A and B are shown apart, each in its own frame.
Chain A
Amino acid sequence: MSPTVKKSLNPVPIKDRMKVPRQAMPEQAPQERAHNFTEVNLGYSEELAQREAQRCLECAKATCTENCPVGVKVTEFVELIVAGKFLEAAAKIREDNVLPAITGRVCPQEDHCEGKCLLGKKVKPLGIGYLERFVADYEQRMGKHVLPSVQPTGKKVAVVGSGPSGLTCAGDLIQRGHKVRVFEALHELGGVLVYGIPEFRLPKQIIREQLDYMREMGVEFETDVVVGRTITIDELMHEEGYDAVYIGTGAGLPQFMGIPGEHLNGVYSANEFLTRINLMKAYKFPVYDEPMLNLQGKNVAVIGGGNTALDAIRSALRLGAGHAYVIYRRSEAEMPARIEEVHHAQQEGIDFHMLTAPVEFLSDGKGWLTGARCVRMELGEPDSSGRRRPVPIAGSEFDLPLSVAIMAIGTTANPIVQTTTPGLGTNKRGYIQASEETQRTTRKGVFAGGDIVTGAATVILAMGAGRRAAKSINEYLATGEW
């Protein structure tokens, strides 16, 4: 066999590709979008997508794919875009990623695929996320997708939690012929995608479409089931006959700082604030029944520097906040939020108080928040996370008047599943112990992945864990070996 040299379909010669500028994503104007919940990014047109796709250098060693937690075959799908075969491109992505319309929107691509794109060494990296999103949206617009045909295996798997990790695991397992049922505690499916990430970053319609697609593939869903309370893992396996269980329950419990005044009216966890808005649609009160505090013209601050913090404060702005602040104890360079979202927030007029931390919440004497006493910080020696530790500057205290403060300083493990499943090992922080490679836990037939194993991370990392788990569950179901 002689090696065949593949001829590129790309009309732009390799040497000229660096000269093509990265195609900007059309977006709503900042002053307009700061007052609505409509998606900020508007998506590529076919022309823009093809022009952007033509920038791909078609590397033989695709470092982009190597750095994608689910291993999307980037050069292959991009080549299909160049050729104008958008539906085929979508199908190519779906081989590795069942939620492309979501990952294309919320992945921190700079940390994964785009971070290792060769173009990025000289010019801007290929817009892989934008292209992924384009083909997924195109497929949805056309209303066409090909369902994979599979042989039923007769095995049953229960997936606990319908967040990104559970959905990915379920999507992979159903394609391998297993019967899959997903159990969700809330009344809506999607986990953080539905209660956490706001409409302006991820329209709910997109999630519903992805779920419909999974239903078409045969995945069953049951809401209003709190595993650990409504039913236990043992009951699922022994009474309901599941051959394996995947736990993808996320890192649910919000953390508070433990500073004075955190119980005051007006202090929210980001989870509560975002759940009221996204899941319960409190911003449409009284059409929807769930209330929230009126933010019109009020001073609102979020404490924290991650994506959750930005989602919360940008939502507050859209609900009419007069002043919206981010209070973060390190500097912009250490912010864990996606760069694009930080820029979007700045454009929308959100004030960043960097190197600042609250030390106390102030009260009006009747139980309502009136402000935060904050202290300025400077960066000292690196801490265990490798980031320079913020150290308070003595005498730098100042008071910031606030009506609402939102705590977005992280979450911890929800103990409900662990405490009701005998023999399920946890680490000292309460997260479930699972092999990094196989996602196997200390209980035979029980797998776990995503935030409930790693602590709060990203959508795509949770999806990567779901994929690894599905592969490993498949092997276990085939061999019965543990």
Chain B
Amino acid sequence: MFKIIHAQFLAPGIKRFVIEAPRIARKQKPGQFVILRIYEEGERIPVTIENSDPERGTVNIVVQSVGKTTHLLNSLNTGDSILDVVGPLGKPSEIANYGTAVVVGGGVGTAMAYPTAAALKRAGNRVISIVGARNKELVILEDEMRAVSDVLMITTDDGSYADKGFVTDKLRQLIQNGARIDLVVAVGPIVMMKAVADMTRPEKIHTVVSLNPIMIDGTGMCGGCRVLVDGKSQFACVDGPEFDAHNVDFAVLVQRNSMYRDAEQKSMAEYQRAVSAKAGEPAAEPCVAASSGVQGEQR
């Protein structure tokens, strides 16, 4: 059992948990993730590590509600426990002094982009961070990102905060203005990571993306998370999750992440029915997010 020391919403549907996990806290490096299971009948899902405190033995995870498990998780509070938390998993980000690094975080992906941006800054890079969200309420970790960036740019899809548009608009401007860029790291929705890759490919800018396929064990034993990179199967949990964006087959990732869409919707609908019944309310329509409630979207 892993105790939740503190739980707090950062934005609607996006919650940060501080979890007591001393072994993970001691070892965690930017780019890594955990797999967790909330309760006995639960599934295992990969979740972003935002930060950790080796002294206090705590790990911060950031979770967005998209399906049953993440809704359940985000209903937990300070003092509750999570049955299983395993990690840190995956290869750490390759941190070096590249020169100028552009770190792009989309939605909850910002939580994973943050430790990488911080590490790149510590390694002596000039860090330009671009954070994007659908609207003002969903912008997360602004202060944290600002603290580790030389330049911070924020976009919202609807223009309700900072600049209207997508993160890729900012990246395009940087490229068009002839800014020196030695590395781009993008973490977020697949469409965003693909758009970033397509933009930097003709410019031959080294670009790394953190992939978010469906996972079970997260230790390399099942291959459920296999992704097609440079025409070859790679296991994102042990060979990644970060890969050279220009070699990733994003279409296969999208296709594989849709594998259990029907089951996920069914699971979410039943969960919502149960929650409503408990609250004595009529069953609500399945929420919009549930239709994209792919496990992998967590990361």
Q: Complex Cα distance A275/B37, Å? A: 15
A185 touches B223 (CB 8 A): no
* Residue with the greatest number of chain A CB neighbours at <10 A, chosen from B228, B251, B255: B255
* Residue with the greatest number of chain B CB neighbours at <10 A, chosen from A229, A275, A289, A290: A289
Nearest opposing residue in chain A for B233, CB measure: A256
- Cβ contacts under 8 Å, A269 to chain B: 222-224
- Cβ contacts under 8 Å, B255 to chain A: 265, 366-367
Q: Complex Cα distance A288/B266, Å? A: 12
Name which of B4-12, B41-49, B155-163, B240-248 contacts chain A: B41-49
Quick one: given A231-B27, A280-B43, are A291 and B260 in contact (CB under 8 Å)? yes
A293 on the B face (CB < 8 A): yes
B235 on the A face (CB < 8 A): yes
Q: Complex Cα distance A367/B266, Å? A: 22
Say which size band chain A's interface belongs to.
35 or more
Q: Complex Cα distance A229/B92, Å? A: 10
Q: Complex Cα distance A275/B226, Å? A: 16
Name which of B97-105, B179-187, B188-196, B213-221 contacts chain A: B213-221
- Cβ contacts under 8 Å, A225 to chain B: 23, 86
B96 on the A face (CB < 8 A): no
Give a binary string over A249-275; 1 marks a CB under 8 Å from any B CB, 0 the rest.
000111010100011010011011001
Q: Complex Cα distance A374/B266, Å? A: 35
Quick one: given A231-B23, A280-B44, are A187 and B83 in contact (CB under 8 Å)? yes
Quick one: given A256-B233, A269-B222, are A226 and B87 in contact (CB under 8 Å)? yes
- Cβ contacts under 8 Å, A229 to chain B: 27, 87-89, 219
Nearest opposing residue in chain A for B222, CB measure: A272
* Residue with the greatest number of chain A CB neighbours at <10 A, chosen from B24, B68, B270: B24
B interface secondary structure, majority = mixed
The smallest C-beta distance from A470 to any residue of chain B, in angstroms, reads 25
Nearest opposing residue in chain B for A289, CB measure: B43
B23 touches A275 (CB 8 A): no
A286 on the B face (CB < 8 A): yes
- Cβ contacts under 8 Å, B259 to chain A: 265, 293
* Residue with the greatest number of chain A CB neighbours at <10 A, chosen from B220, B251, B252: B220
Identify which of A268, A291, A416 contacts B220 (C-beta below 8 A): A416
Nearest opposing residue in chain B for A412, CB measure: B220
B88 touches A230 (CB 8 A): yes
- Cβ contacts under 8 Å, B267 to chain A: 285-286, 289, 291
B168 on the A face (CB < 8 A): no
- Cβ contacts under 8 Å, A204 to chain B: none
Q: Complex Cα distance A290/B23, Å? A: 27
- Cβ contacts under 8 Å, A186 to chain B: 217, 219
The smallest C-beta distance from A409 to any residue of chain B, in angstroms, reads 12
Q: Complex Cα distance A367/B258, Å? A: 10
B87 touches A230 (CB 8 A): yes
B43 touches A290 (CB 8 A): yes
- Cβ contacts under 8 Å, A289 to chain B: 41-43, 68-69, 267
The smallest C-beta distance from A234 to any residue of chain B, in angstroms, reads 12
A153 on the B face (CB < 8 A): no
Q: Complex Cα distance A229/B259, Å? A: 29
A224 on the B face (CB < 8 A): yes
Q: Complex Cα distance A367/B238, Å? A: 24
A226 touches B83 (CB 8 A): no
Give a binary string over B251-285; 1 marks a CB under 8 Å from any A CB, 0 the rest.
11001101110011011001000000000000000
A253 touches B220 (CB 8 A): yes
B85 on the A face (CB < 8 A): yes
B219 touches A291 (CB 8 A): no
Question: A171-223: which residues lie under 8 A (CB-CB) from chain B?
Answer: 185-187, 223
Nearest opposing residue in chain A for B86, CB measure: A224
- Cβ contacts under 8 Å, A41 to chain B: none
Number of residue pairs spanning A and B whose beta carbons lie under 8 angstroms apart: 121
Q: Complex Cα distance A414/B23, Å? A: 21
B41 touches A275 (CB 8 A): no
A276 on the B face (CB < 8 A): yes
Identify which of A286, A366, A415 contacts B266 (C-beta below 8 A): A286
The smallest C-beta distance from B63 to any residue of chain A, in angstroms, reads 15
The smallest C-beta distance from A430 to any residue of chain B, in angstroms, reads 12
A287 on the B face (CB < 8 A): yes
B216 touches A275 (CB 8 A): yes
- Cβ contacts under 8 Å, A258 to chain B: 233
Q: Complex Cα distance A125/B37, Å? A: 47
B84 on the A face (CB < 8 A): yes
Nearest opposing residue in chain A for B253, CB measure: A263
The smallest C-beta distance from B133 to any residue of chain A, in angstroms, reads 28
The smallest C-beta distance from A210 to any residue of chain B, in angstroms, reads 20
- Cβ contacts under 8 Å, A285 to chain B: 263, 267
B238 touches A416 (CB 8 A): yes
B41 touches A287 (CB 8 A): yes
B216 touches A276 (CB 8 A): yes
Question: B24-52: which residues lie under 8 A (CB-CB) from chain A?
Answer: 24, 27, 37, 41-44
Quick one: given A265-B255, A265-B256, are A291 and B264 in contact (CB under 8 Å)? yes
Q: Complex Cα distance A229/B27, Å? A: 7
Q: Complex Cα distance A271/B226, Å? A: 13
Identify which of B37, B252, B256 contacts A187 (C-beta below 8 A): B37
The smallest C-beta distance from B92 to any residue of chain A, in angstroms, reads 10
- Cβ contacts under 8 Å, A288 to chain B: 41-43
The smallest C-beta distance from A139 to any residue of chain B, in angstroms, reads 28
The smallest C-beta distance from A310 to any residue of chain B, in angstroms, reads 19
Give a binary string over A404-448; 1 marks a CB under 8 Å from any B CB, 0 the rest.
000000000011100000000000000000000000000000000
Q: Complex Cα distance A232/B224, Å? A: 25
B252 touches A414 (CB 8 A): no
The smallest C-beta distance from B299 to any residue of chain A, in angstroms, reads 16
- Cβ contacts under 8 Å, A367 to chain B: 251-252, 255-256, 258
Q: Complex Cα distance A187/B39, Å? A: 11
- Cβ contacts under 8 Å, B228 to chain A: 263
- Cβ contacts under 8 Å, A291 to chain B: 43, 260, 263-264, 267
- Cβ contacts under 8 Å, B223 to chain A: 253-254, 256, 269, 271-272
Q: Complex Cα distance A416/B237, Å? A: 11
Identify which of B27, B85, B216, B258 contacts A265 (C-beta below 8 A): B258
A275 touches B217 (CB 8 A): yes
Q: Complex Cα distance A280/B39, Å? A: 12
Identify which of A231, A253, A281 contacts B221 (C-beta below 8 A): A253
Q: Which residues in A have some Cβ–Cβ distance to B below 8 Å?
A: 185-187, 223-226, 229-231, 252-254, 256, 258, 262-263, 265, 268-269, 271-272, 275-276, 280-281, 285-293, 366-367, 414-416
Lowest 3 A-B CB distances belong to which pairs? A291-B263, A367-B255, A272-B222
**New A-B contacts (6) at CB < 8 Å, excluding given A263-B228, A263-B252, A281-B41:** A187-B37, A187-B84, A254-B223, A272-B222, A285-B263, A290-B44
Could you show 18 A-B contacts with beta carbons less than 8 Å apart? A185-B217, A187-B84, A225-B86, A226-B219, A230-B27, A252-B220, A253-B238, A254-B221, A256-B226, A262-B233, A271-B221, A280-B216, A281-B41, A285-B267, A286-B263, A367-B255, A415-B220, A416-B238
